[in-house]
Structure 1
Amino acid sequence: MAALAVAVHHYTAYWALDGVHTPAYFLPHASRVTIYGFLGVELFFMISGFAICMSSWGRTLRYFFASRASRLYPAYWTGVVLTTAVTFLLPISGHIPQRVPLSWAGIGVNFTILQEPLGVPAVDNVYWTLWAELRFYLLFAIVVARGVTYQRTVIFLLSWMLAACAATSLDVPLLKTITVGEFAGYFIAGVAMYLMHRFGPTPLLWAILGMTWWVNMHRLAERVGPHGFRIPLWPAVLIVSLGYVMLVLIALDAKGRPGWRWLTIAGALTYPFYLLHQRIGYTVIRYGYELTSLPVPVLIGATVVLMLVPAWLVHRYVERPLGPRMRKALAPAART
């Protein structure tokens, strides 16, 4: 759901669908609702915190890094190749230029997911979230290195939240980068929710969760910001709050299995879909608009469904066969 919300947001805002007008021109009413789809990123970060804490429990540091690399890179590398190929063969112009920087050096840097800190343009704009994910992994590796326990994880969460708030208050760019800036609260909330599931809700965990909610609400206005037209803040507050409630209910499920099954099914296509949807989706919509007489809402809806196909292909023929092999190669002695 998070990736679908982000995709609809991208398809209905911020680019010139016909080369001149943004999608809001064609969808004046719907765009005022779909504009909030960017908040799917916040939900994704919470789920990530939840899932990473769950999957790293009892694991070695070597296994932790091997599992994260094997999860991130095979689909990501495929996404870089496919997106570069499509935007090279079928370039489009518009509010956001579609042709990506095609220097071999720039593409090579993109393969590392370090293009943002190195100041290299991304092949696709959505890759910025992966840099946030990488920083979260590096921070949580501190806990994994010592062995993930309830006490260590709680101390880590409190320290991280304090450092993230201090970075913003003191306006220290390096500290903001290290602490994942405005998104730290969402990762921390996800980890706290997993602790609730594993150990049961405690006043301390509720306090951490409440603290992250309050900080995230305080910073939400910066995320809403200007979007070409004024939009109210309260729907964003409601959406993020409902995300908290939904994940807390999953965390407090005594058996846990329905929640895990839902996360497993949703997660299978979410990542490759997210990697592929933006620039390739823009291309599909633009050429569909120019070559057919289909209404814009139909084009956008059809593109969302269509992009599930390459997402499934990447999951089936890249992630499933290559992920385990890469993990085994990176950590052959790790406990699986």
Structure 2
Amino acid sequence: MTASPLTTGAPSAAPDLVTPTRGPVIVGRSRGASSRLRALDGLRLLAALMVAAYHYGGRGGEIARAWGDSPAHQFPTAAPLFAYGCLGVQIFFVISGFVICLSGWGRTLRAFVASRVSRLYPAYWAAILLITAVFALPWVAYKALPPSEVLTNLTMLQQPLGAPRVLGVCWTLWAEMRFYALFALCVVLPGATRGRVVLFCAGWTLAAALAQAAHEPFLDTVLMPEYAPFFIGGIGLYLLHRYGARDPIAWATVLVSWLIGQHYAVAGLWHAPSATAFSYRSTAGIIAVVTVGFVLVGAVALGKLRWANWRWLTVAGALTYPFYLVHEHLGWVVVRALHLGVGLPSYATLPLTVGLMLLLAWLLHRFVERPVTPRLKRAIDPR
């Protein structure tokens, strides 16, 4: 997989993590109570930090120019661990499956579309324009894209259109958009029910396997065989959250998704030890990270992390998406300025860069997302 996760799923905005106030009893809470899943906010930020560690110290490419040397030389002990950070994307996708099922349940199609568009686009537009402006500065050693390609990137459809990307991580947003479309058409439009969601998970799993066997590019694009099990696994975990731990079909959904997901993760990220490769990930290590991701989201689903209810986790969840968008490319600029310009050692430059990117994420959240998101949402769905 290329150096881009989470995004991961790409992380969505924090308000989706409030549990429903009506419907079946949620594990660990009384009927009618409303409770925020703050631990899931924390997991999203953790996944974003994994991806940042990968981008800053777990791979080669452009980041080597920022360090002036290979990150493997800058972090000889940590770089082999940072290489696993790209799996934060798979964890994002599991979280996204959980959150989208939660937020889409009981909503109209228009409300669902308004929620997704208003969550994704404001910070994304700001990140596109900000990174383009910074890269256009004469003293910045990275080339900005031409105006036409920047404008194309504002649609978030640059990847299928074949346009160059302003954001390396935007490939994960394209995967998220396809998941939203499938879920909206198959579940939200007819109305979410347990049976319909189970049928969606089973049908998508089988269809994705057939698409893999058919080697048909269009089916691969629509059904995303390599990412589908992570989204589906997250949906299965939400069913456990909504209907309780005694749901064998939900458990089967999660188990099958984990089995298929670890296969794709190993197939995409493992290679034989090679002196020419930047890093090496073991099969056991890849499976372990994927498993931990499923287990942690499952612990949230089953109420095992209710104790992690600190308010600062809500802020962490709100910062995750804008941090994910800006950390890679603007991180190159900051690393270069601090390490090569100021002369800070690498182990001081890395946490300071992460801290500055989190500060920038807070500014984007405070001055872009908070004012623009509700206005955009009301414009799409005045109700």
Using the size of structure 1 for normalisation, the TM-score is 0.92
Counterpart CA distance in 2 for 1:175 and 1:305 is 41
What letter corresponds to residue 284 of structure 1 in structure 2? V
The Cα offsets for residues 7-49 of structure 1, whole Å up to 9 and x where unpaired, read as 1110112232457532112212210011111111111111111
Verify: 1:77 aligned to 2:125, yes or no. yes
Q: Name which of structure 1's ranges 294-303 and 250-259 shifts more when overlaid on structure 2.
A: 250-259
Verify: 1:246 aligned to 2:246, yes or no. no
Alignment of 1:290-301 (within 5 A): 290-301=340-351
Residue number in structure 2 paired with 1:37:
85
Provide the secondary structure at the position in 2 that maps to 1:113: coil
CA shift, 1:223, in A, is: 2.8
Asked if structure 2 preserves the Cα contact closer than 8 Å seen for 1:164 and 1:181, the reply is yes
Asked if structure 2 preserves the Cα contact closer than 8 Å seen for 1:50 and 1:193, the reply is yes
Verify: 1:222 aligned to 2:270, yes or no. no
Residue number in structure 1 paired with 2:236:
192
What letter corresponds to residue 352 of structure 2 in structure 1? A
Verify: 1:21 aligned to 2:21, yes or no. no
The Cα offsets for residues 213-243 of structure 1, whole Å up to 9 and x where unpaired, read as 1101111123324552333121121111011
Counterpart CA distance in 2 for 1:30 and 1:19 is 15
Residue number in structure 2 paired with 1:157:
201
What letter corresponds to residue 50 of structure 1 in structure 2? F
CA shift, 1:261, in A, is: 6.8
Verify: 1:60 aligned to 2:60, yes or no. no
CA shift, 1:188, in A, is: 0.6
Verify: 1:48 aligned to 2:96, yes or no. yes
Verify: 1:127 aligned to 2:177, yes or no. no
Residue number in structure 2 paired with 1:315:
365
Residue number in structure 2 paired with 1:118:
161
Asked if structure 1 preserves the Cα contact closer than 8 Å seen for 2:266 and 2:287, the reply is no
What letter corresponds to residue 71 of structure 1 in structure 2? R
Residue number in structure 1 paired with 2:324:
274
Counterpart CA distance in 2 for 1:175 and 1:122 is 23
Provide the secondary structure at the position in 2 that maps to 1:327: helix
Asked if structure 2 preserves the Cα contact closer than 8 Å seen for 1:250 and 1:259, the reply is no
What letter corresponds to residue 60 of structure 1 in structure 2? T
Asked if structure 2 preserves the Cα contact closer than 8 Å seen for 1:17 and 1:23, the reply is no
Identity of aligned residues (%): 44
Counterpart CA distance in 2 for 1:91 and 1:150 is 56
CA shift, 1:299, in A, is: 0.6
Counterpart CA distance in 2 for 1:80 and 1:295 is 30
Verify: 1:324 aligned to 2:374, yes or no. yes
Asked if structure 1 preserves the Cα contact closer than 8 Å seen for 2:68 and 2:340, the reply is no
Using the size of structure 2 for normalisation, the TM-score is 0.81
Verify: 1:7 aligned to 2:52, yes or no. yes
> Which blocks of at least 5 consecutive residues in structure 2 are unaligned?
1-45, 272-276
Aligned residues: 328
Provide the secondary structure at the position in 2 that maps to 1:298: helix
Asked if structure 2 preserves the Cα contact closer than 8 Å seen for 1:253 and 1:259, the reply is no
What letter corresponds to residue 121 of structure 2 in structure 1? Y
Provide the secondary structure at the position in 1 that maps to 2:158: coil
CA shift, 1:271, in A, is: 0.1
Verify: 1:237 aligned to 2:281, yes or no. no
Verify: 1:172 aligned to 2:216, yes or no. yes
Residue number in structure 2 paired with 1:109:
152
Counterpart CA distance in 2 for 1:167 and 1:49 is 20
Asked if structure 1 preserves the Cα contact closer than 8 Å seen for 2:83 and 2:280, the reply is no
Provide the secondary structure at the position in 2 that maps to 1:229: coil
The Cα offsets for residues 129-181 of structure 1, whole Å up to 9 and x where unpaired, read as 10001000000002100001100000001101111111112211111110123
Could you say if the C-alpha distance between residues 260 and 190 of structure 1 is closer, same or farther in structure 2, counting changes exceeding 3 Å? farther
What letter corresponds to residue 235 of structure 2 in structure 1? V
Verify: 1:302 aligned to 2:302, yes or no. no
Asked if structure 2 preserves the Cα contact closer than 8 Å seen for 1:100 and 1:122, the reply is no
Counterpart CA distance in 1 for 2:50 and 2:138 is 25
Residue number in structure 2 paired with 1:181:
225
> Which blocks of at least 5 consecutive residues in structure 1 are unaligned?
none
Residue number in structure 1 paired with 2:18:
none
RMSD: 2.0
Counterpart CA distance in 1 for 2:209 and 2:345 is 46
Verify: 1:145 aligned to 2:189, yes or no. yes
Provide the secondary structure at the position in 1 that maps to 2:160: coil
Asked if structure 2 preserves the Cα contact closer than 8 Å seen for 1:10 and 1:278, the reply is yes
Asked if structure 2 preserves the Cα contact closer than 8 Å seen for 1:62 and 1:331, the reply is yes
Counterpart CA distance in 2 for 1:181 and 1:90 is 43
CA shift, 1:267, in A, is: 2.0
Residue number in structure 1 paired with 2:23:
none
Residue number in structure 2 paired with 1:287:
337
